[in-house]
Each structure stands twice: as structure tokens, then as C-alpha cells.
Amino acid sequence: MSRISDHIRKAFKESDDIRDAGLTTPPDVIRYDDIVYGADPKWQALDVYRPRAAVGKTLPVIVSVHGGAWVYGDKERYQFYCMDLARRGFAVVNFTYRLAPESKFPAPLEDTNAVFAWVLENSGAYGLDPKHVFAVGDSAGASILGLYCCFCTDPAYAANYPFVPPQGFVPTAIALNCGSFRVDVSGDSQTSQLMADYLPEGGSPRELALIQVAEHVTGRFPPVFVMTASGDFLKDQPPILTKRFMELDVPFVFRYYGGKAEPLPHVFHCDMRSADARLCNDEECAFFRSFCR
């Protein structure tokens, strides 16, 4: 493991511990925990959260692809954010995927694909509406989710992988939050180290070409809510993607949160004590609900 990956794991954990200190499961949420969707019960497990008031009802689904620079994170770190989304009237699937450097690309993409297949196969058991399957992803999770939508909508791109998407499946709409959509290792030693941990060939030109979300978007890409914030260190990334969307007439909404007076940090929307997070999450869920009419 590179020094930067080790640092990210320690620093992100410390920050997340502070952010989520004292949070508990809301009384109005029902949760189904530690459902294994793959061969590895630790790294291929998911939770399902539903609003308690919706017992017996079939609900639209949000699948959450967590962030963490490809080397950090799990469903426990995203449970409070995902349960808060569930309180807005959705069934939310919160899953852990295999991380680098222990597991190399395309492991996270393969796990994401397995989770969507699980949703479709188990929709009846958990009251999930297979006709309205949405997804959110932030930071590296936004990159993974973006690539997954390219994988579902472009057979030529999907042919690069040894697994296939569920037949005919494309997420109904997605939200890409504070994401990375073009990975550039030129002159950036930290990104180079991360890619050396993440990619089997250490970041060969072929591999780097494969993970550039913006380069693989087609006109069949699903509608997107794209957001960033004034203090987001990746705020230069969304324009790369939205420019591509406009060229291909992919429907999207772009939101920029915060300002100079009170800059909002990277992935601010995961802070359940933040009014700005509530606004962002309200707007994203309203965007999803617009496709359920």
C-alpha cells in the first residue's frame, strides 16, 4: 500500500468518526443489515433501509456507491446518510465493495454490478420497485457509478469487462456528488500513487483510458443530478462531465452549493447535522421523484 493510501485511510476515518459521533438509527427507519451479495461476507455485503411508515409498500430504490478514493470506506460509514435518504420515501441499498490495494480494478465496478443484479432479483422480498432504480455516488463512488452507467449503456465499453450488466438494465436516474470524472496523473504524485494501488498494471495508458468517465459517456446515459461545493477540492471536475452531457443531449441538473463566506467541503452532503446537506439531499430526492410520476 502506498503512503497516500495509508494516509487516506487514517485521515478519512478520523474525520468520519467526528462527523458521525452520537448518531443513531432513526426510529422511523427499518433496517435489514449485513445481507451478503457475493462470495466475500465482509467486503460484499449490503444493508437495506426503508421508512417505517411504508411497511408493505413497494418503494423506488436508491443504491448508494460510497466514496473513499478507491481505498477507503464501507457501508457503516454511509449508514446515517443512507438512512436519511430512506426517510424521504425511498428504499435505500447501502453496500460495501472491495477496496484497493487489496482488490484491484475492476473489483468495485463488478461489485456495483452485482448489487444492482441483487436489487432486481430480490425486489419482491424487500418491497423494491425494479422499474424505478436510482443511484447516488460521491467522490470515487461517483467515478465508479459514472463508469457503471457507461458500462450499462455502451456495449462496446462493456466488452472490456469479464462480467455483464443485467439484461436491459440502466438506472432510471443518478446523482453524482463531488465526483472525479477525469483522472490525470501528469504532475500529480498522489494521484499516481493511488492509481498504482488501484489499477492492476499500476496505471498504464490502457487502464487510465478505461476509467475516464467523461470519455465513455454516450447519448444513452441516464439523466443526472450533478453537484459540487465551494470548498470541494474536485469542483473543477463537474464541468468536464456537463460539457459532455450537453454535446450528447443527456438530461442533467447541475447544483453548486455554498459560497466564499462559508465554503462547503468535499462530500458535505454526508453530514447529517448540516442544513446545506439537507437542502442538497432534498433536491436530489425531488429530482428522483420526478421520474416516478
What's the pLDDT tens digit per position in 115-153? 999 999 999 999 999 999 999 999 999 999 999 999 999
276-283 contact pairs (CB < 8 A, 24+)? 276/229, 280/177, 280/227, 280/255, 281/81, 281/84, 281/85, 281/88, 282/88, 283/225, 283/255
Assigned C-alpha cell, 229: 461545493
Rg (CA), the chain: 18
pTM, 2 dp: 0.97
Rounded Cα distance, 120 and 242, in Å? 29
Look at strands 128-138 and 224-229 and give their pairing. Answer: unpaired
Residue 275: count of CB within 10 angstroms of its CB: 8
User: Grid cell 438512512 — which residue?
Assistant: 83
**Structure confidence by residue, pLDDT tens digits, 153-182:** 999 999 999 999 999 999 999 999 999 999
**Structure confidence by residue, pLDDT tens digits, 72-94:** 999 999 999 999 999 999 999 99
Determine contact, residues 76/121, Cβ cutoff 8 Å.
no
Q: Which CATH number fits domain 3-289: 1.10.3720.10, 3.40.50.300, 3.40.50.1820, 3.10.450.240?
A: 3.40.50.1820
